[in-house]
Structure 1
Amino acid sequence: MSSDVDNEIKTRREYIQSLIGSFGSDEIDRDKLIPELLEEFNKLYVIIETLNSDLSQLKDRYKS
């Protein structure tokens, strides 16, 4: 699982960097950039929340 999560985060990071690079070189305009970035940040948020939940469950198992 860790490898899958690592790959997903890496993919999201690379795509965000690509979007920012495209904006810097005027390949994408602000009206398209903002929704794309929001979508990517939402995907990262879901990944982080999933990891947080998994860690909480693991912590609870070891507390018992």
Structure 2
Amino acid sequence: MIKLLVFARYFLGFLLWTLALALAEMLVRSSWTWSSFGYGLLFGAITYVPFILSARYFSRRKKN
């Protein structure tokens, strides 16, 4: 149950970050297309996944 909640927290954060990047892409292009959402998803994965990995690394390092 705890692992599911942790996964949900990371997934919702990733989803919100992706939507924010897609919205920024839409504002830059002044129109919404599926490619803008795709770019948001791509850049979200590129920027959010390393953030999660580094946060997990430093939280483990702090305990030891």
Name the TM-score, length of structure 2 as normaliser: 0.50
**Could you say which structure has the larger radius of gyration?**
1
Name the TM-score, length of structure 1 as normaliser: 0.50
